[in-house]
Amino acid sequence: MLYNGLHEWHLIFYIGASVYIGCGLIFCVLGSGEIQPWNTTETKIKHGIENIAFDDVRSKDEEGNV
């Protein structure tokens, strides 16, 4: 007996669809849309660049000779 007929593919489709719908229903009932505290990170923003190569560019910008 071969197991590659249309009936077997229907069974696989129904199993996959029921898993998909079941997980979706569980998420709809138990899930929430609130932002969790672990979602945000603390980042420190550094202003300016400490590099000798840019010192010449800064001096020209301050003089207005770009």
**For residue range 3-54, what is the model confidence (pLDDT) as tens digits?**
678 888 899 999 999 999 999 999 999 998 898 888 887 776 666 666 666 6
In a domain, 58, yes or no: no
Residues written for the chain: 66
Per-residue pLDDT, 12? 94
Asked if residue 24 belongs to a domain, the reply is yes
Please report the pLDDT score of residue 6 as a whole number.
87
The number of distinct structural domains making up the chain is 1
Q: Is residue 52 part of a domain?
A: no
11 assigned to some structural domain: yes
CA dist 12 and 4 (Å) reads 11
Q: pTM (2 decimals)?
A: 0.48
Residue 12 resides in a domain: yes
Rounded CA gap, 20 and 23, in Å?
Answer: 5
